[in-house]
Amino acid sequence: MEKRQQMKNTLQLFIDSFKAELHSLSRDIWSRPELAGDETHAHDRLVRFFSQPGQTWTVQSHYKLPTAFRASWGPVCSVEAEPVLNVCFLCEYDALPDIGHACGHNLIAEVGAAAAMGLRAALENQTELPVPVKITVLGTPAEEAIGGKIDLIQAGAFADVDLVFMAHPAQQDAPFLPTVTIAEVSVKYHGQASHASAYPWEGVNALDAAVLAYNNLSALRQQLRPEWRLHGIIKHGGVKPNIIPAYSELEFYLRTPLLKDLCDLKAKAEACFRAAALASGCRVEIIYPTNTYYNILPNATLASLYESNGKALGIEFPEQPASFSGSTDFGNVSFMVPGVHPFFCIGTSALNHTEEYTKAAGAEKAQLYSLRTAKALAMTAVDVVCCPDLLRQVREDFRLAKLTQETADELEGCNTAPRDP
């Protein structure tokens, strides 16, 4: 226990010694917000950060995705080598349209970088660890719109990862909040144009189909579980009043607390879309254009360790909200690898995805909270890498959490592949 505390003290001092550079990193990303998949400046800035002389990181730019990166430190595995424990920290850095870093992803990048560097400082010169440890930092782009972590999973980026750590800015500190699944659906109706006054009987009105579908879904809400959500817009409804619309398009989001419930909501929504096509005489396309985000699997051991370390640093954890309706592609990672995804306040009462939160994410005031969170993440990693019993419990929590929910394989019939009924 004394050795662990010494390592924790070391990492805290190291992170403090780099606080100016870390703030500069965060502020630089914040000042040049980039949308999902286009984070070239943020990618290059983080690659340079880990490539500084004396940092001893092996850095791979454009790792599997154009704006993803990987930085690694520690022993290299070989066939003869003792198994290595690969501890991974995630950095996000995409922004939102018009309002920039209104979700504080610049701070996520800073926290991930700081925690990884702090853990490296704690592990350097340690010769009596239970197992050799490797540290990996993954830059995971496009969380806001595409689900970059899901693309990285499919590309094998997490295949050698044993533990994963990330923290997200919010309004309060919490070791865990239950996020929800989300599937984006695009619905396109194809009808037949005609003069709306002279020959209306020759037309097939695609706007009627869109309106019927919208109303079908509004009626469906009355019979949905209280925690389920579906919400959307009509993106295209025609070009001119005297032309019967030949094309219309809707975009909806479907959300459920658990992945296993999403199939049911999809089936109900698709029935509404198809009924509108049948009633109007239109042809319908139902397409899932982006990755489905899973709910985050809880890991009680990691969350408890994070809370204990956070309290030691002065973090206060108020009573957890009864529900939380946010979604993140970290949920998909949590189905693959044991991990923890705490939330942290940044000294503002502003809500995420607002201009006020954008300002707070770039303010110097946020630094105290962000670096404190980074220290708590790294300290939690120290606990696990130094104590085999804790590592076993983390893995057991992961196994049990997956047993209580449907896995991706069991949801093969509820995938996100485009479909044209």
In a domain, 22, yes or no: yes
What are the structure tokens assigned to 389, written together?
A: 């019993």
Domain assignment present for residue 319? The answer is yes
Please give the structure tokens belonging to residue 23: 């703030």
In the predicted model, what is the mean pLDDT of residues 205-234?
97
3-state secondary structure the chain: CHHHHHHHHHHHHHHHHCHHHHHHHHHHHHHCCCCCCCCHHHHHHHHHHHCCCCCCCEEECCCCCCCCEEEEECCCCCCCCCCCEEEEEEECCCCECCCECCCCHHHHHHHHHHHHHHHHHHHCCCCCCCCCEEEEEEECCCCCCCCHHHHHHHCCCCCCCCEEECCEEECCCECCCCCCEEEEEEEEEECECCECCCCHHHCECHHHHHHHHHHHHHHHHHHCCCCCEEEEEEEECCCCCCECCCEEEEEEEEEECCHHHHHHHHHHHHHHHHHHHHHHCCEEEEECCCCCECCCCCCHHHHHHHHHHHHHCCCCCCCCCCCCCCCCCHHHHHCCCCEECCEEECCCCCCCCCHHHHHHHHCCHHHHHHHHHHHHHHHHHHHHHHCHHHHHHHHHHHHHHHHCCCCCHHHHHHCCCCECC
Is residue 150 domain-resident?
yes
Q: In whole angstroms, how large is the CA radius of gyration of the chain?
A: 24
Euclidean distance between CA atoms 52 and 45, whole angstroms: 11
Q: Which pLDDT score is estimated for 322? A: 63
Residue 382 inside a domain? The answer is: yes
The band of 81, judged by pLDDT with boundaries at 50, 70 and 90, is: low
Per-residue pLDDT reduced to its tens digit, 308-348: 999 999 999 998 776 667 899 999 999 999 999 999 999 99
The whole domain housing 187 covers: 181-292
84 and 224 share one domain: no
Is pLDDT above 50 for 78?
A: no
Q: What is the mean pLDDT of residues 262-290?
A: 97
The sheet that has 69-73: what strands, in order across it? 58-60, 69-73, 133-139, 85-91, 163-165, 339-340
Looking at residue 419, what is its pLDDT?
A: 38
Residue 263 is part of a domain; what is its CATH number?
3.30.70.360
Residues 234, 277, single domain; the answer is yes
Model pLDDT for residues 17-44, shown as the tens digit of each residue: 999 999 999 999 999 999 999 999 999 9
- Are 141 and 203 in a shared domain? no
Confidence check: pLDDT of 396 > 50: yes
Q: Give per-residue pLDDT as tens, 338-348.
A: 999 999 999 99
Same structural domain, 23 and 165: yes
One-letter identity of residue 221:
R
Tell me the mean pLDDT in the region 84-110. Answer: 97
Give the span between the Cα atoms of 327 and 409, in whole angstroms.
21
Based on the fold, state whether residues 42 and 145 are members of the same structural domain: yes
Number of structural domains found in the chain = 2
Give percent of the chain above pLDDT 70: 94
Query: What are the beta bridge partners of residue 250?
Result: 187, 234
Where residue 360 sits, what CATH number does that domain have? 3.40.630.10
Pairing, β 58-60 against β 69-73: antiparallel
Where does a domain end: 242, 258, 292? 292
Inside any domain, residue 124: yes
Whether 416 maps to a domain, the answer reads no
Is the same domain home to 92 and 192?
no
Q: What is the pLDDT of residue 405?
A: 72
- pTM here is 0.91
